[in-house]
Amino acid sequence: KNQVEQSPQSLIILEGKNCTLQCNYTVSPFSNLRWYKQDTGRGPVSLTIMTFSENTKSNGRYTATLDADTKQSSLHITASQLSDSASYICVVSALRGHSNYQLIWGAGTKLIIKP
Amino acid sequence: DTAVSQTPKYLVTQMGNDKSIKCEQNLGHDTMYWYKQDSKKFLKIMFSYNNKELIINETVPNRFSPKSPDKAHLNLHINSLELGDSAVYFCASSQMTSSGTQYFGPGTRLLVL
C-alpha cells in the first residue's frame, strides 16, 4: 500500500535554531517527492520538488534531501524565523502509466517557532 | 492577481441545505482539483479534472458533484449537507504532469450546523 509517513507530528523550537523534519514513504513506482508549506488558514505552497536522481535541493534556508534507496526524505530549516511556523507536508508522486500519476499526501509536521 | 481563487471564503449553513463553492484559476493550467482538509489537518483529494474531463474521483459521497464549465473553472456542489461535511475545502490547479506543481486557492471554510 502506498503510504507517506511524517515525523515528528509537531515540533516547537526557538527562533534562530535549526530543525529537521522527516518523511518516509512506501510508494512505487516513485516519480518525485515534494515538500509543501501550509501557513495557518492558507493553502499549501510548494517548497521543493525532488526526482529520483536528486539527493539534495535547497530553497533559501530550506534544504531537502532524498535517499531513494531507503525511501526517506528530510527537510532541514536553518536559522528558523517566526514566519517558518506552519505545517510542512511531504507529497510523493507515484506513476500510474503514461501521463497518469497518483499523489500520496503525508499528514504533515506542525512546526512552531517561539521567540 | 490571484492565481487560484475560491468563493466564498466562509460558508455557514444548516444541515440538509445545498451549497456550491466556486473555483477559478488564471494560470492557464489544464488540471484542477478539489481537496478536503478536516479538523486533523489531513489533506485528502476528492476530484481532479483535466481539460474538463473527470480523471480522479476518490471515494466521495455522491452528494458531492463537481462541475467544470471550462478549463479555468471547477465548481463543487454539495447536496443535503451533513455535519461531517464541515471542513476546509481547497481548490488547486497544475499542469497535467507528475512533476506539475499544484497551486492552491485560499480555501473555503464550511461549517454545517
- pLDDT for res B100: 78
* Grid cell digits, residue B14: 444548516
- pLDDT for res B97: 66
- pLDDT for res B59: 75
Ranges of chain A with pLDDT below 50: none
SS3 content of chain A, % helix, strand, coil (to 5): 5, 60, 35
Q: B99: which chain A residues are within 8 Å (Cβ-Cβ)?
A: 31-32, 49, 51, 93
- pLDDT for res B1: 62
State the DSSP code for A40: T
Closest-CA distance, A41 to chain B, in angstroms, reads 8
* Grid cell digits, residue A50: 525532488
The residue count of chain A comes to 115
Task: Collect all residues with Cβ–Cβ distance below 8 Å to B65 and sequence separation of at least 6.
Answer: B76, B77, B78, B79
**How many beta carbons lie within 10 A of that of residue B100, not counting itself?**
16
- pLDDT for res A98: 65
Report the C-alpha dihedral over residues B25, B29, B30, B33, rounded to 10 degrees: -50
Ranges of chain B with pLDDT below 50: none
* Grid cell digits, residue B102: 499544484
Question: Does B44 touch chain A if contact means CB atoms closer than 8 Å?
Answer: yes
